[in-house]
Chains A and B, each alone.
Chain A
Amino acid sequence: MQIKDLFNKNKEEFKSGSKGNEETLRPEIDDKIWAKCNGCNRALYEKMLMNNLKVCPLCSYHFRLTPQERVDFTFDVGTFTAFDYDDIGTSNPLDFPGYMEKLEASRKSCGSQDAVLCGVGEIGGYKTAACIMNSFFMMGSMGYYVGEAITRTVEYATKNGLPIVIFTTSGGARMQEGIVSLMQMAKISGALEKHSQKGLLYITVITNPTTGGVTASFASLGDIIIAEKGALIGFAGKRVIEQTIKQKLPKDFQTAEFACEHGFVDLISERKDLKENIRKILMLHKTEGTK
């Protein structure tokens, strides 16, 4: 497997990767630039926000992260190496009109091939494979690239006796790839089953939002499932449910807290505690590959 430091290569693109971001963050970090909080609607200095792991200091709303920011906030400095999966290429099984253009635009604005960043790194000194989904890339939807990249990373972890941490955020299957997207759910679940058979640890970190086919596959399969505070977690979309049952849903429906209350999440973590929570879990499952 070819590994290269995607990091340095894409630093510039990653910085500007927030274009099209609903939270309207600007490319440079500057005292004068502010972002509006989706939680409390107040204006925040971007620098203050960045210093606080992109969590609103006023209402503790957790802003969505780019994969690069997730790496910066979670992995030990300089330990993360991204896998080069450029050879996976593009799948357009439906020849869906406009899909390639849309994909190109997302690639440009996010500076990545598709909606997931995979690699290997250390968290608190413990080595782990990792997949980090990107909700800024076509809503983190899962098509062939995402499915294949995650599958390969799980297989890498299985082969090397490593745990794997998957940070999920996704609107679900990538509609433009039709049935091929659906098949990714089975493929990844199969790869995780083989990883599990070897007695290896899989930690799911569910981040905002995680829905559809990702919830109905690997997001629900972690040995330990952590949900980031306030994350939306669900199978069906809220609007679809409201149309089906012809009534309004309660406000806390499909939140991390709702999922935890109903028994589908092991723990809810604030972003500031996330790294330490993962470190502890890795430490308690230490294998030869881990260190």
Chain B
Amino acid sequence: MSKSAWEKIKIARMMNRPTAQYYINKLFTDFIELHGDRNFADDAAVIGGIAMYKGTPVTVIGEEKGTDVKDKAQRNFGSPHPEGYRKSLRLMKQAEKFGRPIINFVDTQGAYCGMGAEERGMGEAIARNLEEMMALRVPIISVFIGEGGSGGALALAVADRIAMLENSVYSILSPEGFAAILWKDAQKAEQAADVMKITADELLKLDIIEEIIPEPEEGAQADAEAVAAAIDDFISRSLDILSQVPAGKLPEYRYKRFRRL
């Protein structure tokens, strides 16, 4: 528990850190990946589909950084384009239609900053997720498994219950960007990480998240199965807790969760 924010970021960014695909395969059965936003394209930086979780069909979505070098490049290192968020929203609305809980894995440096992303309305895509997720009548659970970069992370985290892996981070901007903007010096990223309050324990204190999921000393890759089991426990308890919320009251519950922040 004595790691600095910067040490945690380095773990969160490790090339061999387990990604969304790993946890989806580990925690769910009968996963069928569904592609495309029905509008422009399929964004490989976001994977999503339906699966079985302890006898209940669920919708699962994750920002996916990729595994090997080729896979990472293909997935744009987990930085989604607008169509990635639009795909996620399509799948979440589908979940609502069929009464399925939604489980999101957040892992992105941030939404992609490129020309196509602007042309296709990155701002609108994220905004639409925020507004529509707030109204969904099924439980939404988000788990931060690595990096949680700004609006690109929030767009999958308008949730009823949120947990972060011990070494994952969630921030308004990367420490490098933060240092560049406020101190005009990207080299001061380590210092920035210290003041930004981006670690799981700091965000728990700020009431941004509900729980911290422990990791082995060296990081999740050291014992991915144990981490998956701890995530499993969080999801299963969260579904129990949320099943107590009366039918139709989840949007109100969710709004209150964010209203106090």
Contacts and interface: CB of A to CB of B under 8 A. Distances in A.
Chains A and B belong together in one complex: yes
Interface of A: 93-97, 151, 173, 175-187, 189-194, 196-197, 212-213, 215-221, 233-237, 240-241, 244-245, 249, 253-254, 262-264
Interface string B177-205: 11001100000000000011110000100
Nearest to A173: B172
B122 interface: yes
A185 B259 contact: no
Given A151-B259, A216-B151, A236 B117 contact: yes
B115 A241 contact: yes
Nearest to B196: A178
Contacts of B206: 93, 179-180
Given A178-B198, A179-B206, 13 more contacts: A182-B172, A184-B261, A189-B134, A190-B255, A191-B255, A218-B127, A219-B127, A220-B124, A235-B126, A236-B122, A244-B113, A253-B115, A262-B120
A218 B126 CA distance: 10
Interface in B198-251: 198, 203, 206, 208
Given A179-B198, A220-B123, A189 B117 contact: no
Contacts, number: 149
Interface of B: 111-115, 117-124, 126-128, 130-132, 134-135, 150-151, 154-155, 158, 170-173, 177-178, 181-182, 195-198, 203, 206, 208, 254-255, 258-259, 261
A216 B113 contact: no
Nearest to A197: B135
A68 B206 CA distance: 35
27 contacts: A173-B150, A175-B181, A176-B182, A177-B172, A178-B172, A178-B196, A179-B172, A180-B261, A182-B172, A185-B154, A187-B261, A189-B130, A190-B130, A190-B131, A193-B135, A215-B127, A220-B123, A221-B127, A235-B111, A235-B113, A236-B114, A236-B118, A236-B122, A241-B113, A241-B114, A241-B115, A241-B118
B218 to A, nearest CB: 26
B172 A234 contact: no
A262 B40 CA distance: 13
B92 to A, nearest CB: 14
B151 A263 contact: no
A190 B259 contact: yes
B203 A179 contact: yes
A129 to B, nearest CB: 18
Contacts of A263: 121
Contact of B113 (A175, A194, A213, A236): A236
Contacts of A235: 111, 113, 117-118, 122-123, 126, 151
A180 B206 CA distance: 9
